[in-house]
Amino acid sequence: MPGMVLFGRRWAIASDDLVFPGLFELFLRVPCEIGILTLYLMHRAKRDCADGVSYLVSSYLISLIILLAVVICTVAAIVCVSMKGTICNPGPRKSMTKLLYIRLALFLPEMLWASLGAAWIAHGIRCDKTVENGIEITVIVRTQIWWSVTLQQVLPFSVSNRTISGITRSPAWAGLDSNTPAPICRSRTTEYDLIGGDPLNCHFGSILQTTGLQYRDFIHISFHDKVYELPFLVALDHRKESVVVAVRGTMSLQDILTDLSAESEVLDIQCEVQDCWAHKGISQAARYVYRRLINDGILSQAFSIAPEYQLVIVGHSLGGGAAALLAIMLRASYPQVRGYAFSPPRGLLSKSLYEYSKNFIVSVVLGKDVIPRLSVTNLEDLKKRILRVIANCNKPKYKILLQGCRYELFGVPDNSPTELDGDNQGDLTQPLLGEQSLLTHWSPAYSFSSDSPLDSPPKYPPLFPPGRIIHLEEEDTSGRFGWCSTAQYSAKWSHEAEFSKILIGPKMLTDHVPDVLMRALDSVVSDTAACISCPAQEVPNVDVA
């Protein structure tokens, strides 16, 4: 849907985007109108001032009531017109431009009238005659004008002020109260290698509290964070007899820039695999950690303490992708290395590297998490599907948003007929909304398919997630109530083809949060009936314990 044209230019807002802003304005305007009208009717018998003051006040209030009524009717008409039509059928909303011009034209007299009332309050209106109960008419006059000006001007600003005042506390202390133990902070010099972090070592204290390890178990901790350079730590897990290298995921602007470096580059490793391509930003980050581990002797120090331990590489999100590539790089020197990537990005490895990594890397994906389905080619596919669905949509935008909110809060799906039912399925295979120019002509990553007129090969080769994939699926979503639900999950082995499309849903982002993933893993592990169903064919020898 193109933006509306006002004052000779096109704006980044469509004619069907004004339903909820208009309802919010009505929510403020209608109580204001009712309040001023009530005050006028209650005190009209007490306005008998000399020198024409009573007449001026009455004229002011009546004009204000009429002006507000016109504004309310105009906004209500804007809301009603904005509800008409569909996303790609703006015909029923052709009168929206005129209504907006009327609404903007009412803005100037409204502000002048409110400024006049504010000036009267500032200078005061005197009247010597009093009523029976001895109350001065000045009080009544000022009260009426004060109410009118306050309800028009102060109320919207109070809402904005509440929004500004509602800024949460620092994430490091969010959720802490008097009953929550303070993080473990140390300021003394420690025996392990520590790079970066806060002066009191509270960041490291949170790691101790989360992992349950002791100070002597850590070999190296680095909070150094730049583009292509990720924080990581090396520790000894005596219970599993492992040297653990953990790489941190996306938590800063530098990490986001690393994620966005999504071009492919050749991965120079010592193995027999051909066509070793990988995500450029993540491979650079993995190479940085590799140099630190090998050149600085960090791994040598760890294995000098525990030579019989095995090497385990773990990470989440961006850290999961870097951990997988790091495990591939260290495979030649440490044949027993194991990699565990939690919610890694899909666009990571070439097909040959993906097959090679199945022997020693396991990925864990929760539900409809968008990151394990995210790649350049998948984004292009999502763009095509969104444009086609929008072009065939038979519902207005506000209904789609309300249905999404209802599903998020109450878990009630929309079972009414949609644009994808019946005969409309065939329409989705045709180029729509200028798809030729929007997608295929200008996009170098557009993958060739039967319905694509592009004959040249794509610029970006398709990339795949690392290793074998354990998919945690929610067993039953019916009857849930938003965040209050206690979801149950089951685990199964899945093929990478199940993550070849980006799924749109209310949990596509929340399923990527580490806390949600950990709760799902705890639910599967604690459930004695849960099991991992392995396919009968080609089961690599991978330790998932």
The predicted structure's pLDDT at residue 192: 66
Between strands 242-247 and 310-316, the pairing is: parallel
| Class of residue 520 by CB neighbours under 10 A (exposed 0-12, middle 13-18, buried 19+) | buried
Q: What is d(CA 522, CA 472) in angstroms, rounded to the nearest whole number? A: 11
Terminal CA-to-CA distance of the chain, rounded, Å?
Answer: 51
Specify whether 106 is located in the same domain as 219. Answer: no
Tally of domains in the chain: 2
Residue 519's Cβ-side half-sphere holds a number of Cα atoms within 13 Å equal to 12
Does one domain contain both 11 and 145? Answer: yes
> Per the residue annotation, which of 369, 447, 490, 511 is the catalytic one?
369
Residue 86, in any domain of the structure? yes
Residues 237 and 362 in one domain: yes
- Kindly state the tokens that stand for 507: 């949990």
The pLDDT, as a whole number, for residue 32 is 87
* Together in a domain, 218 and 353: yes
**Annotated catalytic residue within 317, 363, 447, 523:** 317
Residue 541 lies in a domain: no
Active site residue 317: yes
282 falls within a domain: yes
| Long-range contacts of residues 423-432, Cβ cutoff 8 Å, at least 24 apart | 424/392, 427/392, 428/388, 428/389, 428/392, 432/387, 432/388, 432/391, 432/392
Answer yes or no: do 253 and 365 share one domain: yes
Domain assignment of residue 442, yes or no: no
Task: Name the domain boundary from 373, 402, 437.
Answer: 373
| Shared-domain flag, residues 231 and 305 | yes
Most confident among 49-58, 81-90, 143-152, 317-326 (mean pLDDT): 317-326
Listed residues 123, 142, 157: the one ending a domain: 157
- Give me the CATH number covering residue 289: 3.40.50.1820
Confirm if 269 and 328 have CB atoms less than 8 A apart.
Answer: yes
For residue 220, the SS3 value is strand
Give domain status of residue 163, yes or no: no
HSE of 105 in the Cβ direction (CA atoms, 13 Å)?
A: 9
Instruction: Extract the runs of DSSP E, i.e. beta strands, from 211-337.
Output: 218-222, 232-237, 242-247, 264-266, 277-279, 310-316
As a whole number of angstroms, the distance between CA 15 and CA 83 comes to: 9
> Which tokens is 382 given?
């999502």
Are residue 152 and residue 229 in the same domain, yes or no?
no
Of 157, 178, 210, the one marking the end of a domain is 157
Q: Is 381 a catalytic residue?
A: no
pLDDT of residue 363: 95
438 pLDDT more than 80: no
**Residue 121: per-residue pLDDT:** 64
Check whether residue 28 and residue 117 sit in a common domain: yes
CA angle 159, 161, 163 (to 5 degrees): 75
pLDDT at residue 123, as a whole number:
62
345-354 confidence digits (pLDDT tens) = 998 999 999 9
- Token pair of 264, please? 């492919």
pLDDT at 454: 36
> Per residue in 99-113, pLDDT tens?
999 988 988 888 888
For tokens 């989360």, the residue is 210
User: What six digits make up the tokens of 484?
Assistant: 């209050």
- Kindly state the tokens that stand for 287: 């190479």
| The predicted structure's pLDDT at residue 348 | 92
**pLDDT score of 67 more than 60:** yes
Structure tokens at 158: 């109070």
Residue 152: Cβ within 10 Å count? 24
Considering the domain boundaries, does residue 353 fall inside one? yes
Q: Tell me: do 138 and 214 sit in the same domain.
A: no
Give yes or no: residues 250 and 358 share one domain: yes
> DSSP states of 470-539 as a string?
EEEEES--TT--GGG----EEEEEE-GGGGSSPPPSTTTTGGGSHHHHHHHHHHHHH-TT---B--SS--
Task: Tell whether 75 is covered by a domain.
Answer: yes
Please give the DSSP secondary-structure letter assigned to residue 277. Answer: E
For residue 264, is pLDDT > 90? no
Residues 6+ apart with CB under 8 A from 199: 187
Sheet holding 468-474, edge to edge: 193-195, 218-222, 232-237, 242-247, 310-316, 338-342, 361-366, 468-474, 489-494
Residues whose CB is less than 8 angstroms from the CB of residue 480 and which lie 6 or more positions away in sequence, other chains included? 410, 411, 487
Q: Which long-range contacts (CB under 8 A, 24 or more apart) does 493-498 make?
A: 493/468, 493/469, 493/532, 493/533, 493/534, 493/535, 494/365, 494/469, 494/470, 495/469, 496/346, 496/354, 496/464, 496/465, 496/469, 498/469, 498/471
**Quick check: 227 pLDDT over 90?**
yes
- Tokens read off for 303: 């294995």
Return d(Cα 454, Cα 443) in angstroms, integer: 10
Give me Rg for the CA atoms of the chain.
Answer: 32
pLDDT at 470: 94
Single-letter amino acid code for the residue at 106: L
pLDDT at 196 (0 to 100): 72
Residues 209 and 153 in one domain: no
Q: How far is C-alpha 94 from the geometric centre of its chain's CA atoms? A: 33
| Residue 388 banded pLDDT, cuts 50, 70, 90 | confident
Boundaries of domain holding 369: 202-373
> What's the angle, vertex CA 114, arms to CA 111 and CA 116, rounded to 5?
110
Q: pLDDT value at position 1?
A: 61
Q: Which of 45-49, 102-106, 205-209, 441-445 has the highest mean pLDDT?
A: 102-106
Sorted by sequence, the CB contacts under 8 Å of residue 64 that are 6+ apart come out as: 36, 113, 117, 148
DSSP code string of 456-468: SPPSSPP-B-SSE
- pLDDT number for residue 47: 52
Does residue 6 surpass a pLDDT of 60? Answer: yes
Q: Is the pLDDT of residue 522 over 60?
A: yes
Whether 193 maps to a domain, the answer reads no
**Same domain (yes/no): 152, 206:** no
Reported pTM: 0.65
CB 222 within 8 A of CB 245: no
